[in-house]
Amino acid sequence: MSMLLNEEQRLLGETAREFLSARAPVSALRRLRDSRDPLGYDPAVWREVAEMGWTAAVFPETEGGLDFGYKGLGAVFEQAGRTLAALPLLPSVVLGGGLLLAGGDARQRALIAGVIDGSALLALALEEEGRHAPCAVRTTARPDAGGWVLDGEKWFVLDGHVANMLVVVARSAGAPGDSHGLSLFLVDPKAEGVVVQRSLMADSRNAARVRLSGVRLDGAALLGAAGEGFALLEPVLDRARICLAAEALGVISEAFDRTVAYLKERVQFDVAIGSFQALQHRMARLYVDLEMLRSCVGAALDAIDSGSSEVALLGSLAKARAADLSERALNEAVQLHGGIGVTDELDLGLFVKRGRVIQQTFGDGVFHRDRYAQLKGF
């Protein structure tokens, strides 16, 4: 296992840092937030992202992709965390595109071309509770005249309000909590019976609430086999969790660097406060934990690309550490900035909010420590 990036992957990370710093800096997120932009992202920037091949990175060449791997894409997510770039990369490429690749037939996989060129946006409609619970699905899918009828409600559908196609997780058998009986369906958000309501999140990013009332689908809408959707869903969720951990690494790293710079310039008692040993100890502990998170993320990304059997285990390890450190490190950053740390004028607050949302998305530290223990047989 190699947790280090090769030359091409490092170059991609450097290119991403330069591009996002210029085209999607923190000030761009502020503009989207303050103008209450109806899309929540910049289409021009998204087109450039697609042209640079980021949307094609993890798809095989047979589907028109670059087969570059998740270590390269993880480097992009880390840099996106550093600038708080609002890109529909996770829901469309990692989640939606990943499910099409895993379970789609030839006709369904044809949608991947639109994902790669940026013209099509996908979103996963999974959650139905306030906390991540991938098997607690109550949305029903009942067979009807060779097709299906869906009824239910989905929360926190990432970028769901701009999606051209939804991948809806519904229960065709079993009871809430069962992994068996889940089915995946491709649903047009404009179809009769579908209501999509945009939700503005604390981090100024987008999610949606999706209501499904007697939505009729033909048999071709089913992705994979009926009742066996969890086998497709879980590996894709793990890849998304690992990408979120990579983004959290970028968020925390940027907040850490900004805090170090502030400690060097803020003067009290005629000296920089960074010279105070108590503050140095706090930053040193954060640095060690940050490097540990970097190693966990690197190992998880490498596991995806190498086809390791430990992707789920390392994914939960990385996500748990990212969630826990995100809370602690960003709280420390606010405290070390003093009173200015809680003002909207300082960008730090935006990093804190993004960190909080990443912390909860697809499982917080509690969820993943429990899952890690179960995977280890405890």
Residues 232-241 have pLDDT tens digits of 999 999 999 9
- Looking at the structure, tell me whether residues 111 and 22 fall in a common domain: yes
pLDDT range class, residue 82, cuts 50, 70, 90: very high
Render pLDDT for 112-169 as a digit per residue (tens, 0 to 9). 999 999 999 999 999 999 899 999 999 999 999 889 999 999 999 999 999 999 999 9
Tell me which long-range contacts 150-153 makes (C-beta under 8 A, separation of at least 24).
150/185, 150/187, 150/193, 150/212, 150/214, 150/215, 150/217, 151/212, 151/213, 151/214, 151/215, 152/128, 152/211, 152/212, 153/128, 153/209, 153/210, 153/211, 153/212
Q: Which of 196, 229, 262 is the last residue of a domain?
A: 229
- Looking at the structure, tell me whether residues 167 and 218 fall in a common domain: yes
Amino acid at 115: V
Higher pLDDT, 341 or 196: 196
Share of the chain above pLDDT 90, in %: 91
Render pLDDT for 298-334 as a digit per residue (tens, 0 to 9). 999 999 999 999 999 999 999 999 999 999 999 999 9
Render pLDDT for 85-111 as a digit per residue (tens, 0 to 9). 999 999 999 999 999 999 999 999 999
pLDDT range class, residue 4, cuts 50, 70, 90: low
- Looking at the structure, tell me whether residues 294 and 339 fall in a common domain: yes
Give the chain's domain count: 3
Q: Which of 214, 229, 244 is the last residue of a domain?
A: 229
pLDDT range class, residue 3, cuts 50, 70, 90: low
Distance CA 41, CA 209 (A): 18
pLDDT at 138: 98
- Looking at the structure, tell me whether residues 75 and 141 fall in a common domain: no
Alpha-carbon distances, residue 343 vs 198, 205, 340, 348 (angstroms):
27, 19, 5, 9
365: helix, strand or coil: helix
- Which tokens hold the place of 238? 């793990």
Q: What is the CATH number of the domain that holds 59?
A: 1.10.540.10
- Looking at the structure, tell me whether residues 309 and 355 fall in a common domain: yes
Q: What is the CATH number of the domain that holds 321?
A: 1.20.140.10
pLDDT at 12: 87
Rounded mean pLDDT, 280-286: 96
Q: Which of 210, 229, 248 is the last residue of a domain?
A: 229
In a domain, 1, yes or no: no
Q: Which domain holds residue 144?
A: 123-229
